[in-house]
Structure 1
Amino acid sequence: MRDAYQDELDGLAGGLADMCGEVAAALEKATRSLLECDLQLAEEVISEDIKVDEIRAAAEEKAFALLALQAPVATDLRIVVSAIHGAGDIERMGDLALHVAQAARRRHPQPVLPEEVKPYFAEMGRVGVALALKAGEVIRTRDLAAAAELETDDDAMDDLHRHMFTVLMDRNWTHGVAAAVDVTLLARFYERYADHAVAVARRIVYVVTGRMPGPVTV
């Protein structure tokens, strides 16, 4: 019975780690669709978003079943409760990748981004994908050092997000209000995506130590 129970807990963590892989792939495709005006990639992200929703639903169902049938305590209880919250964070990451893809589809065949900001969004995409993949590894390994690294890694995304405002406020911006709105919203999507990845890592710290390493504000 105990082995079966432990397998259930491990399966719960594995499902969340798989979700991280799914949302990393979604952001990678969404970023390419944005940069390359690739409608097919945007459509793939949009149609595949349901997979993340289904994994979240399965994870929550398993977590609530464990609460009801096993009455977990201590670390086991923290695992289950953190899984419920973490599934929500990861699903939100998928939703944000979806928003990026929807922006690319909405403007197609016209580009969403002016050429001079494309390198910044390429980097935001790279950072976001790396954060999601690292969050998945943190879930699998409960590596506190790697969890702490996500906080530092997120600084790069914050710097890129702030830089977008410098670009938009520059007197040489000649692309009009609509492009400025698109850039502002898209940069925010990437920044929030990264914040949710950090929130997932913080919940793993809570699982291991019983203490949340700072407020989760996302």
Structure 2
Amino acid sequence: MLRLAVKRTHTSAIRSHHRHRPGGSQSNALFDLPSYVICDSKAKGVIRYATQGFQDLFGCTANDCEGQKLSPANLLQSHELKKISLEAGLSCSEVATSIHRMTRAAEEAVQCAAGTCQVPAHVPVLLSHSSGELFACEISWRKNVHPTLGWSYHAGLVQKISKDISVHGLLVAASQETSYAELRAERAETIQDGFSQELAEELHAAAEKMWKDELAKGVK
């Protein structure tokens, strides 16, 4: 299971942040992008830029998540997870196996994006809002090279899929290797690749702005 290591943020603070994001030169168009993050390919998954959609999804601010990682988190003590596990009739070991399997699949997807292995790009996993509420989502990773800067960066697209599969259903599916593989294969046949040409252009625009901002600060 993946969870951002972010601080909990009150709704009022999030709304305020939407209106007064530090570095106000950021284009308003970027606020309307899908939920994704940009990571430096050499920084091992450290988030360098998070869209407004990503911030809204997790209930965090840019300052909360940038500089953090999309990394495995132990949520086995989650009250919601315990309740769902009981309803699903899963044992503690089966829940642990389910979480481990989803985490491993997500990590393999990052490796695949780096070109070190071949696995399906789309990975259904359980994530958690900053409030602790669990939800089913799909993570897709892609390695991009900016056409003029020549900078290699990773883009991680996070799409909520709660309408297609429940937390309960995903947890049960991932408890068995075969059923999880079947779920991934089924979704690979039915979903559309979220990395459209339009999104690719937006990614490059966001990456270029981030690059120039960091260059001006002497980061690069």
| TM-score class normalised by the smaller sequence | under 0.3
Structure with a larger share of its residues in helix: 1
What is the TM-score of this pair, normalised by structure 1? 0.27
What is the TM-score of this pair, normalised by structure 2? 0.27
Quick one: higher RCO (CA 8 Å, sep 6+), 1 or 2? 1
Higher Rg of the two aligned structures: 1
